Amino acid sequence: MSHMQPTQIASRRDAVTSYRCLAVYRTGQPVPAITLDEGGVIGDKHYGKDPARAVMLASTLAYAKAAHSGIKLPEGALEENVLVPFDPYSLPLGTRIFLGDEAVVELAQYGTICKSLTRIDNKLPKLLKGERGIFARVIRAGTVQSGDPVRVEMPEPSNVKETE
- Per-residue pLDDT reduced to its tens digit, 133-148: 999 999 999 999 999 9
Domains of the chain: 31-155 (2.40.33.20)
**pLDDT tens digits for range 67-116:** 999 999 988 999 999 999 999 988 999 999 999 999 999 999 998 777 77
Helix and strand numbers (H, E) in the chain are 2, 13
Q: So what's the pLDDT on residue 158?
A: 67
Contact 57, 82 (CB under 8 A): yes
Q: What sign for the dihedral angle of Cα 7, 9, 15, 21? A: negative
Q: So what's the pLDDT on residue 15?
A: 59
